[in-house]
Amino acid sequence: MTSPRSILLALAALPVALSLAACGKTPDATAPAAAAAQALAKVPPPAGKAWSDVVAATPEGGYLMGNPAAPIKLLEYGSLSCPHCKKFSDDGFEKLRTNYIASGRVNYEYRSFAIHSIDVPMTMLVNCAPKESAFALVEQIYQNQDAIMTKAQAGEAQIAAAYKLPDNQRFFAIAQSLGLIEFFAQRGIAVDQAKSCLANVGAATAIAKHTDDYGKEGIDSTPTLLVNGANKIAGATFDQIEPILQNAGAR
């Protein structure tokens, strides 16, 4: 499903343009697999916690779940409005958390790649919550993505009008027309809190700047996943990523 053209407009009021990228593509062919590494020992989590409880914001604009020192590092560039990213989340996130992150051998970083302008207010609202809630919110956005995008298509005129508002009012109006204010209120972000977060033009600019940086690093579609900085797969499915994790020793 794609959003209407008005939703995909670059954020012209921001000094940094969103990178040109696409949601989904034919998965990249992977290089021949190296010899499987020896199975790695599990790493106990901090006392009283699971590794999935350990979440940190990263300087690159993402969120990292799991053992910060894990020997296997999975990085995803995902768009919150991308159906291929939704599929990766639906098919793989629970397996990833339960079978790999929980072992302390794998950590997982998610970076919101705002390939569509609708991604910006959604990312701003995720960032408005405590960092420990980030992955749950991203997962729930994907679970409700069809309904959000259907509402976006129905509200095309309202969204187009919102772009004409002053900078500090624009994103709240867009989020309101998409039903996101109510959606996030049901998940712990009060309306006044959401309004304050969405009025922060600097936060929107930072999201656009991170996206621009991702594009300069060669990321041009979502989801794109890397394991330990290599094994890059654009348009990846969890079935493609899981053997790479296992081959790296998470088995």
**141 domain-assigned:** yes
**241 domain-assigned:** yes
**Is residue 195 over pLDDT 50?**
yes
**7 domain-assigned:** no
**137 domain-assigned:** yes
At residue 3, the pLDDT reads 31
Both tokens of 17, joined, read 């343009």
**154 domain-assigned:** yes
Count structural domains, the chain: 1
Domain with 230, as residue range(s), is 51-247
Beta strand extents in the chain (DSSP E only): 22-23, 55-57, 62-65, 72-78, 106-112, 221-222, 224-227, 230-234
At residue 158, the pLDDT reads 84
Average pLDDT over residues 166-191: 94
The whole-model pTM stands at 0.89
Peptide bond just before 243 cis, omega within 30 deg? no
Q: Identify the CATH number of the domain in which residue 131 sits.
A: 3.40.30.10
**72 domain-assigned:** yes
Residue 178 sits at φ, ψ, to 5 deg, of -90, -5
Alpha-carbon gap, residue 102 to 106, rounded angstroms: 8
**Is there a contact between 38 and 72 (Cβ–Cβ < 8 Å)?**
no
Give the contacts of 91 (CB within 8 A, at least 6 positions apart).
237, 238, 239
Give 11's DSSP letter: -
**138 domain-assigned:** yes
At residue 11, the pLDDT reads 47
Residue-wise pLDDT tens digits, 196-250: 999 999 999 999 999 999 999 999 999 999 999 988 999 889 999 999 999 999 9
At residue 236, the pLDDT reads 86
**33 domain-assigned:** no
Instruction: Return the minimum-mean-pLDDT range out of 61-70, 130-139, 167-176.
Output: 167-176
